[in-house]
C-alpha cells in the first residue's frame, strides 16, 4: 500500500457540506474522510478492510505490482480493483500503485451509494464525488499563494474523480515539484494516475504548458489545474472559482 508516514490533513477543515454528515474511517495507513446523507462509518470500515485486503493479498502473490513505477499487466486472476488500477495507470503511463488512493476512494464510494444517494470520499487528497447539488472543491497547494484560494465547481447530478498530486505536500512519490496538479475525470482511478504523471512533468514553470497539452490528449479529462508557486495553469470545462 502507500507510505505509512502520516501527514496531518489540515485541509480537511475546509471540507464543509452542511447538508451531509461527515465522518472519518481509518485502517492502518488508510485515512478516509467521508460525507454522506447519514453516518455510514461501519459500512465504510468494512469496505476499506475488504478492498485493502484484496490489494495486499494480490501484492503477496505479485510483489512487482507494488514496486514498479511503469505500466504493469496483472495476472489473470487478479481482483477487479487491481485490474482497474493497472488499466488506468497504463493509460496514464505510470505504475499501478500511483492510482491506489483514487481506487480505494472510488470503490468504497460506489458501494456506499447503495446507502446514500450522495457520497464524497476523500483519501489523501483524492476524491470520489457523486452529488445531487453543486459543490465547491478547493485546491490545497501547500505554501503556494493559490492554496485554498481557488477551486472548481462540481455541477449537480455528476459523479467524478477529483484527484490531486503534489511534489511538495504529503508522502506520495513524485518526481516533480508542482505544489498541486488536480485532475477531474469520470474515474478517480484515472484522475489519480494522471495527476501523478503530470506532477512528474513539472520541474519549472515552463513545464506547465507542456503538461496541460499532454492532459488534453485524453478524452476522459474534464478539468486540469496546475499550481506551481505563484504560477497557475488551467484547462477544461468546469468553472474555476475564487474562495
* Domain ranges, ordered by start, for the chain: 10-242
- Residue 173's pLDDT is what? 54
- Residue 4's pLDDT is what? 36
Angle 234-236-238 (CA atoms, 0-180°, nearest 5)?
Answer: 100
Ranges of residues in the chain with a pLDDT under 50 are 1-10, 171
User: Residue 63: CB partners within 8 Å, gap ≥ 6?
Assistant: none
User: Residue 37: CB partners within 8 Å, gap ≥ 6?
Assistant: 20, 21, 116, 117, 118
- Residue 169's pLDDT is what? 58
Task: Please give the model's pTM, rounded to 2 decimal places.
Answer: 0.91
- The C-alpha cell of 156 is what? 449537480
Superfamily for 10-242? ApbE-like domains (3.10.520.10)
- Residue 117's pLDDT is what? 97
Distance of CA 160 to the CA centre of its chain: 10
Identify whether the C-beta of residue 70 lies closer than 8 Å to the C-beta of residue 51.
no
- Residue 17's pLDDT is what? 83
- Between the alpha carbon of residue 211 and those of residues 13, 32, 182, the distances in Å are 30, 29, 12
- Residue 8's pLDDT is what? 47
Count helices and strands (H / E) in the chain. Answer: 6, 11
Q: Around Cβ 20, how many Cβ atoms within 10 Å?
A: 18
- Residue 29's pLDDT is what? 87
Amino acid at each position: 500500500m502507500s507510505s505509512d508516514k502520516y501527514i496531518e490533513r489540515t485541509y480537511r477543515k475546509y471540507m464543509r457540506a452542511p447538508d451531509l454528515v461527515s465522518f472519518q474511517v481509518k485502517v492502518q495507513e488508510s485515512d478516509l474522510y467521508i460525507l454522506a446523507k447519514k453516518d455510514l462509518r461501519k459500512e465504510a470500515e468494512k469496505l476499506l478492510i475488504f478492498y485493502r485486503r484484496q490489494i495486499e493479498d494480490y501484492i503477496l502473490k505479485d510483489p512487482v505490482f507494488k514496486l514498479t513505477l511503469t505500466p504493469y499487466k496483472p495476472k489473470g486472476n487478479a481482483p477487479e480493483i487491481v485490474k482497474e488500477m493497472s488499466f488506468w495507470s497504463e493509460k496514464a503511463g505510470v505504475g499501478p500503485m500511483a492510482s491506489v488512493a483514487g481506487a480505494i476512494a472510488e470503490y468504497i464510494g460506489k458501494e456506499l451509494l447503495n446507502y446514500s444517494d450522495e457520497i464524497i470520499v476523500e483519501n489523501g487528497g483524492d476524491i470520489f464525488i457523486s452529488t445531487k447539488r453543486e459543490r465547491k472543491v478547493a485546491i490545497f497547494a501547500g505554501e503556494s499563494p493559490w492554496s485554498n484560494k481557488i477551486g472548481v465547481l462540481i455541477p449537480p447530478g455528476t459523479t467524478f474523480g477529483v484527484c490531486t498530486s503534489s511534489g511538495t505536500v504529503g508522502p506520495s512519490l513524485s518526481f516533480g515539484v508542482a505544489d498541486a496538479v488536480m485532475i477531474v475525470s469520470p474515474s478517480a482511478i484515472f484522475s489519480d494516475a494522471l495527476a501523478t504523471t503530470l506532477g512528474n512533468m513539472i520541474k519549472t514553470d515552463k513545464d506547465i504548458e507542456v503538461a496541460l497539452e499532454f492532459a488534453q490528449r485524453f478524452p476522459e479529462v474534464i478539468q486540469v489545474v496546475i499550481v506551481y508557486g505563484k504560477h497557475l495553469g488551467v484547462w477544461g470545462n468546469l468553472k474555476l472559482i475564487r474562495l
